[in-house]
Amino acid sequence: MNRKNIFAIAAHVLFCLLLAYWFYSNSVIRPLAINNQYKELVSALLLLFTVYLNYLVFIPSILSKSYYKRYIFLSLLLIVTASLIELLLVKSDILICFKHIDPLYFDINKHLRSILFMIFLRNIGFYLFFTVLKLYQQSRENAIMDKKAVLKDTGVVVFIPRRGDRVPLDIKRISYFSHKKNITSIHSPTRQEIPIYATLTDIENYLGEHCLRISKMNIITFTNIISYNEKSVTVKSRNPGRNRILAFYQSNTPRILQTLRKNVPELENANESNLKKTENANVNDDEKQKDANVTIAILEAISKNPRINAVKLIEILQEKTTIHILRRKLRELKDTGKIKYEGSAKKGGYYVI
């Protein structure tokens, strides 16, 4: 889930909370159910159910498939039903407000019909607002899909730089996009850096599968990659002698590597070779570190226990080494002058120099 979706969900949650609070505390078109405020919350939930049923089900499943008559019929039925349920729910509270009024001068039924009409208008207002919002979102998504189709057919991407001119670029000539100091730029092996009016999220949505977001600041294409490993990717730059190395999200390493293997399979063998070299180097480093830790442990044990012999040393260090490694390390330490042995073979022991 990207940041844009998180903001959208947060906005919908905030709207629901504000609407529930407004119903609980205020009333404009009908008297407030003062002694039964739970009815106001039920009314708010009823309205939310109406608009989100339209937003999530009716528009995608009915209106988007051009079933206009069915959509209008179901929408009117839904709004009228919700309005009637709300009026019936709070009718007893409304009647309490007018129980002292002379029925000869005030037609309560006419007033209830007018309240029902106002509730209907309010509900249809919310309904239409969310309908327009959903249609706008769908139009933007369709526009993005159209752009992707054009991109796939022609391979040409049109950007608007900060000076206002349109710049058509072949995607094969783009190495990566960067965002730094509130400026988004295009980097190409053949042209200078081009600043444009777009965010990296816009570019990611625009190019879709033709690009890969590797970090907060960089998006790469797949046409100018030289090599990659488990930490970074190297792309061509305008200066052939200074190819650009871009680090990527360590938390998303498996997904990024999988995408790179899929889109640049010709580099997979070379990358596997580099990974094996790296793994071997890491193994050697681990072995060296383990060997150094054993040496340190031996020196510490002898320092704390002067005149200690090999038998007692292995008892102390049995979890860290073996008798064969201990004997080898003792010879090495004696040869390098770090320890010495004094005394007889049975009663002597080692000292740290």
Q: Is residue 281 part of a domain?
A: no
pTM of structure = 0.45
Q: Is residue 212 part of a domain?
A: yes
Mean pLDDT per segment of 10 residues, for the chain of length 353 residues?
76 91 82 83 92 92 88 94 92 79 72 90 93 86 61 72 72 88 86 83 84 92 88 84 83 88 77 55 64 84 85 80 82 86 81 84
Domain count, the chain: 3
Q: Within this chain, do residues 173 and 304 fall inside the same structural domain, yes or no?
A: no
Q: Within this chain, do residues 187 and 256 fall inside the same structural domain, yes or no?
A: yes
pLDDT at 293: 82
**Segment 23-44, tens digit of pLDDT:** 888 777 888 887 788 888 899 9
Task: Give 172's contacts (C-beta < 8 A, 6+ positions apart).
Answer: 155, 221, 223, 224
pLDDT at 285: 61
Strands (E) in 304-345, as ranges, are: 339-342
Distance CA(303)–CA(102), nearest Å, equals 106
Q: Is residue 282 part of a domain?
A: no
Q: Within this chain, do residues 206 and 305 fall inside the same structural domain, yes or no?
A: no
Q: Is residue 224 part of a domain?
A: yes
Q: Within this chain, do residues 315 and 205 fall inside the same structural domain, yes or no?
A: no
**Segment 182-208, tens digit of pLDDT:** 888 999 888 788 888 778 888 888 888
Residue 342: both structure tokens together: 């004094």
User: The domain that contains 320 carries what CATH number?
Assistant: 1.10.10.10
Amino acid, single-letter form, for residue 50: T
pLDDT at 53: 94
pLDDT at 27: 73
pLDDT at 128: 94
Q: Is residue 280 part of a domain?
A: no
Contact 169, 155 (CB under 8 A): no
Please say which residue of 103, 130, 151 terminates a domain. Answer: 151
Please say which residue of 119, 151, 183 terminates a domain. Answer: 151
Burial label for 256, CB within 10 Å (0-12, 13-18, 19+), is buried
Distance CA(205)–CA(141), nearest Å, equals 9
User: The domain that contains 247 carries what CATH number?
Assistant: 2.40.50.1020
Please say which residue of 84, 116, 151 terminates a domain. Answer: 151
Q: Within this chain, do residues 136 and 28 fall inside the same structural domain, yes or no?
A: yes
pLDDT at 123: 93
The residue range of the domain holding 192 is 159-263
**Of 209, 189, 188, 207, nearest in space to 198 by CA:** 207
pLDDT at 29: 82
Distance CA(339)–CA(121), nearest Å, equals 95
Task: Give 338's contacts (C-beta < 8 A, 6+ positions apart).
Answer: 299, 352, 353
Helix (H, G, I), strand (E, B) or coil at 87: helix
